[in-house]
Amino acid sequence: MIQFLIHEKADSVGVATVDIKAGEVAQGLYMDSQEAVEIEALHDIPLGHKIAMTDHQVDDAVTKYGADIGRVVAQIKKGEHVHTHNLKTRRW
């Protein structure tokens, strides 16, 4: 079962299509290539929220749908929940 989707290979986050529990090895899919991917969730990831596909350092850009969506404000490890506690949007 697919638990998260990544729009394209260059994206640094995926989006949960179901609730993902911490410690679970989640199944994902790159939409552009249809390539399957697995990642261990380090936090609970609620439906519709982002999961980090790579480690991110403070001030790194986060890419989703091929676009820069924000700046990292607290270190993020691969498999962690990406949301307002560690990401500042580019919108404001």
Q: What is the pLDDT of residues 15-74, one digit of tens each?
A: 999 999 999 999 999 999 999 999 999 999 999 999 999 999 999 999 999 999 999 999
Domains in the chain and their CATH numbers? 4-89 (2.30.130.110)
* Rounded Cα distance, 52 and 50, in Å: 7
- pLDDT at position 92: 61
Task: Inform me whether the pLDDT recorded for 12 exceeds 80.
Answer: yes
Distance CA 23, CA 87 (A): 22
Long-range contacts at 6-10 (CB < 8 A, ≥ 24 apart): 6/30, 6/31, 6/37, 6/53, 7/31, 7/32, 7/64, 7/65, 7/66, 8/32, 8/65, 8/66, 9/33, 9/35, 10/63, 10/66
pTM for this predicted structure: 0.93
pLDDT at 90: 75
